[in-house]
Amino acid sequence: MDRNRKWVPGLGAALLILLCHVTSALEVPLDLPQPPTITLQSPKDYIFDPRENIVIHCEAKGKPTPSFSWTRNGTHFDVEKDSNVLTKPGSGTLVIDISGEKAEAYEGTYQCTAHNEHGTAVSNNIVIRQSRSPLWSKERNEAITVQMGVSLVLQCRPPAGLPPPVIFWMDNNFQRLPLDKRVSQALNGDLYFSNVLPEDTRSDYICYARFPHTQTIQQKQPISVIVLNNSPEGERPPGFMMPLGPASAKMVLRGETLELECIAEGLPTPDISWQKDGGELPSSRMSFHNFKKTLMISDVNEADAGDYRCSATNNLGNAHHMIKVSVKAAPFWVSAPRNLILAPNETGILTCRVNGEPKPKITWFVNGIRLENAPEDHSRKVEDDTVILSNVQTGSSAVYQCNASNEFGYLMANAFVSVLAEAPRVLTPPNQVYQVIANHPALLHCASFGSPIPTITWFKDSQTSIRNGDPYVIHENGTLEIHVAQPLNSGKYTCIATNNLGIRENHVFLEVKEPTRILKQPEYKVVQRGMSAMFECKVKHDPSLIPTMTWLKDSGELPDDERFVVDTDSLTIKDVTDEDEGTYTCIMNTTLDRDSASAMLTVVEATPTPAIVHEKPDPPTDLELTDQTERSVQLTWIPGDDHNSPTERFLIQYEDLLHQPGVWVNLSEVAGTSTTARLSLSPYIYYSFRVLALNRVGYSRPSQPSRQYRTNPAAPDENPSDVKGVGTEPGNLVISWTPLTGFKSNGPGLEYKVLWRQKDTDGEWSSRSVANVSQCVVSGTPTFQPYEIKVQAFNDYGSGPEPEVMIGYSGEDLPLSAPESLQVMVHNSTLAEVHWEPVSIPSVRGKLQGYKVYYRRERGLHATEEETDQEEQVLTFSGNRSEGRLPGLQPYSLYNLFIRVVNSKGEGPQSSSKTFETPEGVPGPPSFLNVTTSSLDSLTLQWGPPMNNNGRLAGYTLKYQPVNNTNELGPVKVMMFLANETTTTLGNLNSSMLYKFYLSAKTIKGSGPIVTEEAFTVIDTAVPSRQVDIATQGWFIGLMCAIALLILVLLIVCFIKRNKGGKYPVKEKEDAHQDPEIQPMKEDDGTFGEYRSMESDTEDHKPLKGSRTPSNGTVRRDESDDSLVDYGEGGDGQFNEDGSFIGQYSGKKEKDTHEGNESSEAPSPVNAMNSFV
């Protein structure tokens, strides 16, 4: 709230100013009628990211709550008709969704209006622009060739972005190019070389532009620079590359940062310096950048205008450039208009004082309308930057806008005039307590509101009227200030706010506290290494304030070392080392003030001393008892010799000659500097005391016992502990406790009074007295009911204190009810969830432990599965649950379950049974996988079905792949089998090759785990073993010799038999069928076409398919899709180990064109043998 001036009718403007009264800018309480006030608005220039929503803020307060409207580019913007525009509830803030629209469509100038029945406030003109990061225009940069020593400029010329991009130069490896006083980057992004050197040759000078809003980086095409050395440029004096010419001009706006730049060329590289003609550079706001080539002056003002000279100097001369700086100013506030609160018939003034260069033009608006276009108001008078409102009337509230503009910008402010008649109200909270330290200022607030403006008066202790003057000052906003508060100023203060509509008072309290002072400061210490150092810091503070002592070392925290011991008013450093040297500061803080003091510690070399023998101390002597009372006694003693190790503490023990004779019990410990102790005693004890001394070596021997001291009996001081009430069986309650020791009995005849009653019944307590026991059994109690119990100790001298009431429960019985409404939800093949309706709590008849779910697998759902007796399983769910999960179920099975409730006594009756089925799952692994038969190029596999099908078995998946000599895996082949297939023979395999097999079973739910097996095909003699070279083994050589001899005999027999049988018409057949590859094998009798005995000539004579063999006698697997081994079991043909054919075969063989010339040798045993060589 601001009430600047009060107008008195009939007087001139001069008198008006003299009589004006100003109030502090208090807020008008929102429960009072008032025009709108803009509380939040977006900046004048709003650049948005096209990837995000546009949010234009406009919030206002007022009474009634204002409504909002918008203009765009000077015309009404109907936000209701645009589906992409939302208005935040309770404000005028716009949220524009541009995700599916062109962002450019929403660029423009926006203005928000907040209106209620008392006026209209408007926001600034908010210019909305889209951030842009355009691509570099396509260009082709030619290589730049220069001579060494000349100057060079590499132009960047980045695309014009919004806002402008940040420029930097990098190479192909995204490393920033090194800059120095010879090579530098100008403010416009160009790269300047004062003189080039051979190392400047490179092909990757790349200018990058980073656009801040979109966080994108654009790159210019690389520039290649070649520096030649065949005609280098010689040394030369400096010259300016930028700016050009002897002088230039620069304009800067007030408040902005002035950037002046000079870049010079020359050889050697020039140095740059700056000065201001006729003045000095402002050192506090000035900084140099870019190796002094750039001068920056922040927060420019009118005094920064003038001529700035930059000088470039090397050993051959210098150059100068003059920059004439002019300072202009966008409008800025000298005094912005402030809200006015006026009572009816009062007069007030709004002022709008601005400055700028050139001088701003001031335009006044009322409720958003230019004053000259607004309805005429005879009470309003405008004088340039002032609006005078005379004799205002109720209902004339309005919002005035002042707009000040020049060519560099504008300022706009809202100030409302609210005409109110309001009784005073005090806004400062009542009974507030202010605390200050003596001799400091005290401020007591009395914020108020009213119209007319209330008058504030203060009273102390509700009697003394306070007026302006020493030591009090009453400020314009009602605050009472005491310049130098003293204890006598403490007390109750009352402020009274008064106007012609009423009076209001408020009370506050002032407490003046004593200052915190360090009375004894720490002192400078010189300490030998290994010794102890102690700094004292004794403090006085106000007793009502809580102090906190802090110690610092060299202005930092103390080291985290147990050698540093902080006491109430001291710091002790034990076993000092060189690192402990420094300045130690003690700081005493309270909530209101603090005090501190420091001292130094110097550590010096320890002086050598003779070896000291350390021993345990001698026992104390002369124990004496004084100041004897019923419950305490004073014990004094004389310490024994400490034997060069200071006594750290004394241990005091006692013996109870009445209850535990001969047993010494620790009673108390005191510091090693004490020789007396006040001992607390218990009644009915026959005390005898002794003392032990402790130093670093250990404890001394006990002293001689003191004389006996007997305390008188008394009633017990305490009751038994650990009182519990637990029923052990239905109908009883066992109350137990931990008995008092004889030491705590305080007198003879110790007994216990046990009391109990049922909880929440307000009945009488039942009781029983017992002795020498620790429990009491109460019979005839109802089942599991809460009881209040307590146990009180008493002896012949009275009862102990009132005992604490504990809660116990009588005995439990088995539950009566069973859970109902069982439901089972099957989640998958192995998990089900069971739900039930919990039993009623009374039927539990005990502490509910939980529910037990019993479930058993009855059988599998597969028709062929045999029923087996499955073990019953149990899961316990703790607490008052109504559901639980059953994991680990077997798929495709029928289960049966029931539930029992459980308490501490046991289980209740069984619920009704519930059956459920689990769906199919993936099967288990096949029970086995074996290789039963192996040959040169085939393997026979056999497997067994899974132990657990977990469903209807759909089949098997077999994958296999070869493994070479280096354990590398070959391609995987996949075969599918039906569920009833458990064997297969794999053909066309490589000989002497290891194969790896992977077999899995599957159901409709997928494949189960795999089983693996490995096996070799039969070893080919031409292929070495993968692991052992068996060709060098003796047994193998013998075997091969026997086989060769057998083959020789067989060949001779075959040859003789063939000669007896006559010639076969092989030649004719081969002529008739040019390609023996296309002749099929005759399958009806398993023979090989015409390669049979003469007895078979009646059959079709067809050549053997794929029967060609290479000259070395081994089978060429890649020349035929069929293997001779595949046909080895039919007819009379046989195969050797290496795969070559033996039998009724004779005649000329055709060879493939790849194998060279045809052979025309006659068949003979020798020729036949050649095929094995």
Q: What are 90-111's pLDDT values in tens digits?
A: 899 999 988 877 888 888 999 9
Of the pLDDT bands very low, low, confident and very high (cuts 50, 70, 90), residue 52 is: confident
Whether the pLDDT of residue 653 is over 90: the answer is yes
Which pLDDT does position 218 carry in this prediction?
Answer: 85
Overall size of the chain counted in residues: 1173
pLDDT of residue 612: 75
pLDDT-derived band at 867 (thresholds 50, 70, 90) equals low
Q: What is the pLDDT of residue 1068?
A: 44
High-pLDDT (> 70) share of the chain, %: 86
- What pLDDT score does 23 carry? 35
CB 161, CB 211: distance < 8 Å: yes
Q: Which residues contact 413 (CB under 8 A, 6 or more apart)?
A: 333, 336, 337, 352, 401, 402
For residue 33 the two structure tokens come to: 């009628």
Stretch among 639-653, 802-816, 1109-1123 having the lowest mean pLDDT: 1109-1123
Query: Rounded mean pLDDT of 523-543?
Result: 91
Contacts within 8 Å (CB) and 24+ apart, 1054-1061: 1054/1142, 1054/1143, 1054/1144, 1055/1146, 1055/1163, 1055/1164, 1055/1165, 1055/1168, 1058/1144, 1058/1146, 1058/1163, 1061/1093, 1061/1094
Please tell me the least confidently modeled range out of 453-467, 774-788, 1093-1107: 1093-1107
Q: What pLDDT is stored for residue 191 in this prediction?
A: 95
Q: How far apart are CA 385 and CA 461, in angstroms?
A: 47
Question: What is the pLDDT at residue 865?
Answer: 62
What letter represents residue 733's amino acid? L
pLDDT at 34 over 70: yes
Asked whether residue 1141 carries a pLDDT value surpassing 80, the answer given is no
pLDDT band, residue 400 (cuts 50/70/90): very high
Predicted local confidence at residue 127, as pLDDT: 95
Lowest mean per-residue pLDDT among 284-293, 969-978, 1047-1056, 1067-1076: 1067-1076
What gap in Å lies between CA 384 and CA 899, rounded to an integer? Answer: 93
User: Once rounded to an integer, what is the mean pLDDT over residues 691-712?
Assistant: 92
Looking at residue 470, its pLDDT comes to 67
pLDDT at 1159 over 70: no
| DSSP notation for 691-718 | EEEE-SS-B-PPPPP---EEPPP---SS
In this prediction, residue 273 carries a pLDDT of: 95
Q: What is the mean pLDDT of residues 894-918?
A: 91
pTM listed for this prediction: 0.49
> Can you tell me the distance from the alpha carbon of 430 to that of 584, in angstroms, rounded to the nearest whole number?
45
DSSP string, 877-912: EESS-SEEEE-SPPSSEEEEEEEEEEESS-B-PPPP
Select from 360, 350, 371 the least CA-distant residue to 406.
360
pLDDT at residue 24 is higher than 50 = no
Bond prior to 471 in cis (omega within 30° of 0): yes
Q: What are phi and psi of 199, to 5 degrees?
A: -70, -10
Query: 380: closest CA among 394, 409, 400, 357?
Result: 400
At residue 1167, the pLDDT reads 40
Q: Mind listing the pLDDT tens digit for each residue in 986-1031? A: 888 888 889 899 999 999 888 999 999 998 888 765 444 444 556 6
Q: What tens digit of pLDDT does each residue of 655-669 get?
A: 998 888 999 999 999
Query: Are 176 and 206 in contact, with CB atoms under 8 Å apart?
Result: no
pLDDT at 827 over 60: yes
Higher pLDDT, 229 or 1121: 229
What is the pLDDT of the chain when averaged over all its residues?
83
pLDDT tens-digit profile of 339-354? Answer: 999 999 999 999 999 9
| Residue 1106: pLDDT over 50 | no
**Does residue 150 register a pLDDT over 70?**
yes
Phi, psi angles (nearest 5°) of residue 794: -150, 155
Residue 78, C-beta contacts closer than 8 angstroms, at least 6 positions apart: none
pLDDT value at position 49? 85
For range 779-802, the mean pLDDT: 90
> Taking 80 as the threshold, does the pLDDT of residue 458 lie above it?
yes
pLDDT of residue 26: 54
DSSP labels, 274-342? EEETTB---TTTEEEETTTTEEEE-S--GGG-EEEEEEEEETTEEEEEEEEEEEEEEEEEEE----EEE
Say if residue 897's pLDDT is above 70. Answer: yes
pLDDT value for 103: 81
Residues 6+ apart with CB under 8 A from 677: 634, 635, 650, 652, 668, 670
Q: With contact defined as beta carbons under 8 Å apart, do 689 and 717 qualify?
A: no
- Residue 4 pLDDT level (bands cut at 50, 70, 90): very low
Contact present, 148 and 197 (Cβ < 8 Å): yes
pLDDT at 365 over 90: yes
For residue 524, the one-letter residue type is: Y
Burial class (CB in 10 A: 0-12, 13-18, 19+), 1064: buried
Q: How far apart are the first and last CA of the chain?
A: 120
pLDDT tens digit sequence for 932-979: 888 888 999 999 999 888 888 889 999 999 998 888 888 999 999 998
Specify the pLDDT at position 5. Answer: 31
Q: Hey, is 1060 helix, strand or coil?
A: helix
- Rounded distance, CA 996 to CA 46, Å? 70
Under the banding of pLDDT at 50, 70 and 90, the label for residue 1090 is very low
**CA-to-CA separations, 704 to 686, 691, 699, 764, 808, in angstroms, rounded:** 17, 8, 15, 56, 50
The reported pLDDT for the residue numbered 559 is: 92
Q: How confident is the model at residue 1136 (pLDDT cuts 50, 70, 90)?
A: very low
CB–CB of 182/194 below 8 Å? yes
CB 486 within 8 A of CB 513: no
Whether residue 263 is predicted with pLDDT greater than 70 in this model: the reply is yes
pLDDT > 70? residue 72: yes
d(CA 859, CA 28): 83
Tokens linked to 1048: 């020789």
Q: What is the pLDDT of residues 494-505, one digit of tens each?
A: 999 999 999 999
Contacts of 10 (CB under 8 A, 6+ apart): none
pLDDT at residue 1018, rounded to an integer = 82
Higher confidence at residue 539 or residue 12?
539
Confidence at residue 1164, expressed as pLDDT on a 0 to 100 scale: 40
In this structure, which long-range contacts are made by residues 487-494, counting pairs with CB atoms below 8 Å and at least 24 apart in sequence?
487/438, 487/512, 487/514, 489/442, 491/460, 491/461, 492/460, 492/461, 492/462, 493/444, 493/458, 493/459, 493/460, 493/466, 494/458, 494/459, 494/460, 494/462
Q: How much is the CA Rg of the chain, to the nearest whole Å?
A: 55
User: What's the whole-number mean pLDDT along residues 611-632?
Assistant: 87
Average pLDDT over residues 812-840: 91
Cis? peptide before 64, omega within 30° of 0: yes
Where does residue 1117 rank: exposed (0-12), middle (13-18), buried (19+ CB within 10 A)? middle
Q: For 581-604, how does the pLDDT look when each residue is reduced to its tens digit (9 = 90+)?
A: 999 999 999 999 999 999 999 999
Residue 695 has pLDDT above 90, yes or no: yes
SS3 content of the chain, % helix, strand, coil (to 5): 10, 45, 45
Read off the pLDDT band of 2 (50, 70, 90): very low
